[in-house]
Amino acid sequence: MKYTQLGRTGLKVSRLVLGTMNFGPQTDEADSHAIMDAALDAGINFFDTANVYGWGENKGRTESIIGNWFAKGGDRRDKVVLATKVYGNMGADGEAWPNHDKLSALNIRRAVDASLQRLRTDHIDLYQFHHIDRNTSFDEIWQAIDVLVQQGKILYAGSSNFPGYKIAQANEAAARRGGTIGLVSEQCLYNLAERRAEMEVVPAARDYGLGVIPWSPLHGGLLGGVLKKQADSGRRASGRAADALADPVLRGRVEAYEALLDKHGLQPGEAALAWLLTRPGVTGPIVGPRTAEQLASALRAVELELSEEVLSGLDEIFPGPGPSPEAFAW
């Protein structure tokens, strides 16, 4: 496994991030524990989750699965850089009860204690804001985070799904307060088929020293060889991939993408991950394996070096928007 610093921090993390969203809803606890063991054995030390994972009436289930895995011992917790998120409503029985969601100081305090209990640990390494909260000032948010850092409950704060201007606002507010490190990472939708983050999110993250953590690196399976899999098994795509394939232009790009990689003897999913690892500012993409085989495929991407010919071909098929303001002004 290869490692890098998380943004401007001294924290060393693996170039792949283990995403756990499938733990509970799609992967049972025993298999989830086996995947985490395999990831740790392979050198992945960066695990990502969220308080709402498990979804619906099972919100929090994913954190509990991870907590039960930590409780097995064997230095599991000490070896893991643990990231979770706060924002979604955690009210009992699906009730959207006031102050059980978003980023008020009250909810942050409540949510972090609940996550710590489910995760069966005394601290969270990276506490991430899952979405922007338009009704809460960053002064209030940082006041709450400062208290949690002082209490030893969290070490770093990060964002997820933030636009570039909110990254700037957050870190400027932190700088004004003094003594607050501010955001150290941004977790955003970023992959070959969805490169809009390159316009402003990635540049803002780089300028403020945030590590970029792409989620959905295969765009819901679209970049994982979806057309070949359909031809071989007859199984239709679903979710994000199905929506994308309904667009004839994007479908044509996926056809060209799979043909290019087939020509060079490359596996699409591995190539898509390897491409992200070449992008400036990227710490590591989040991989969410449902099986041990999917984890093994993701691990191969870390060692995969894409030729200039392949990189140029990928840029031709999936051109990025270019930097702002030129992307939309000139």
Structural domains of the chain in order of their starting residue, each with its CATH number: 3-220+268-307 (3.20.20.100)
CB atoms under 10 Å from CB of 315, counted, come to 13
Out of 4-8, 103-107, 176-180, 278-282, which region has the weakest mean confidence (pLDDT)?
176-180
Active-site residue, from 53, 87, 190, 208? 53
Annotation marks residue 53 as catalytic:
yes
**With 70 as the cut, is the pLDDT of residue 295 above it?**
yes
How confident is the model over 144-165, as pLDDT tens digits?
999 999 999 999 999 999 999 9
Q: CA of 11: how far to CAs of 30, 169, 237, 276, 283, in Å?
A: 30, 24, 38, 20, 11
Residues of the chain with pLDDT > 70, as a percent, come to: 99
pLDDT at 304: 97
What number of CA atoms fall less than 13 Å from residue 188's CA on the CB side? 30
What is the reported pTM? 0.96
Q: pLDDT tens digit string along 308-327?
A: 999 999 999 999 999 899 99
